[in-house]
């Protein structure tokens, strides 16, 4: 039994797991649908406080959906392999979709999201939905941990690794960055870095673990670069299969 999700195909071979997934996903979708209708003015004008509360509720409903997706992804792929639908895709378009999805988070914190993808090759062999999922995770983290009013930048550069052509996508923010002792551990399931613990922001420590598995399934790798005085994550993607 399988369920189609926006970020890719996730199977649920256990009927009980599939039922739980279906019920939670359906309830979350319904709740967000009603919230969006009210926020869109279909139930009359809202006071600023009402809008703020409803926006917070919508974010939490979305967080439940992401958590469910991450849990199912880890449970469904215990061997670090993902079933990818790889085809030539324009990386710039994938980045732009991720930027559109996360831009409301930046606007709520008076932050600026800049995208400089001019150096991206015309196409790359990608599962575009999966790489979008990775970028949404990195941009969402940047929106949470970077200072209010700061900027986050997505950069693309072409490079070589072991003699093979790669494209590097960097997410740069003005946050505290990652400690050297956390740089590898934060890609393990259920592990959160010191910056996340110090801020008290909630999270399950799953997003980066799923992101690592997706990128590695593409034959690339993802890394947190410590010691640079700010937040810096890099994704390396093969230009040829």
Helix (H) or strand (E) holding 31: helix 15-39
> For all residues of the chain together, what is the average pLDDT?
81
Question: Does domain 87-238 bear CATH number 3.30.43.10?
Answer: no
Q: Are 35 and 54 in contact (CB under 8 A)?
A: yes
Give the C-alpha separation, 142 to 185, whole Å.
18
pLDDT tens sequence across 148-163: 999 999 999 999 998 8
Query: What's the number of CA atoms in the CB half-sphere (13 Å) around residue 20?
Result: 11
Give the C-alpha separation, 108 to 149, whole Å.
10
pTM attached to this predicted model:
0.71
Q: Which of 135, 45, 123, 41 is nearest to 88 (CA)?
A: 123
Q: Which of 60, 31, 57 is nearest to 46 (CA)?
A: 57
pLDDT tens sequence across 38-92: 998 888 888 888 888 888 788 778 767 766 776 666 666 555 566 788 999 999 9
Q: Where in the chain is the domain with CATH 3.30.565.10?
A: 87-238
More confident residue, 61 or 13: 61
Read off φ and ψ for residue 146, nearest 5 degrees. -80, 155
**In the chain, what's the furthest Cα-to-Cα distance?**
61
């Amino acid at each position: 039994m399988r369920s189609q999700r926006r970020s890719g195909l996730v199977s649920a071979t256990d009927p009980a797991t599939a039922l739980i997934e279906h019920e939670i996903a359906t309830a979350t979708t319904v709740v967000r649908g009603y919230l969006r209708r009210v926020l869109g003015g279909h139930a009359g004008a809202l006071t600023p406080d009402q809008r703020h509360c409803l926006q917070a509720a919508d974010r939490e409903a979305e967080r439940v959906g992401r958590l469910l997706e991450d849990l199912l992804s880890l449970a469904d792929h215990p061997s670090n392999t993902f079933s990818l639908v790889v085809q030539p895709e324009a990386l710039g378009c994938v980045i732009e979709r991720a930027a559109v999805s996360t831009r409301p988070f930046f606007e709520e914190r008076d932050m600026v999201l800049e995208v400089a993808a001019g150096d991206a090759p015309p196409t790359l062999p990608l599962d575009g939905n999966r790489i979008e999922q990775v970028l949404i995770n990195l941009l969402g983290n940047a929106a949470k941990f970077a200072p209010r009013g700061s900027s986050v930048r997505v950069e693309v550069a072409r490079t070589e690794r072991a003699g093979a052509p790669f494209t590097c996508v960097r997410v740069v923010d003005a946050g505290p960055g990652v400690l050297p002792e956390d740089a590898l551990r934060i890609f393990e399931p259920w592990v959160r870095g010191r910056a996340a613990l110090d801020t008290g922001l909630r999270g399950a420590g799953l997003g980066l673990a799923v992101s690592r598995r997706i990128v590695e399934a593409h034959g690339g790798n993802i890394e947190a670069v410590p010691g640079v005085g700010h937040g810096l994550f890099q994704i390396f993607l093969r230009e040829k299969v």
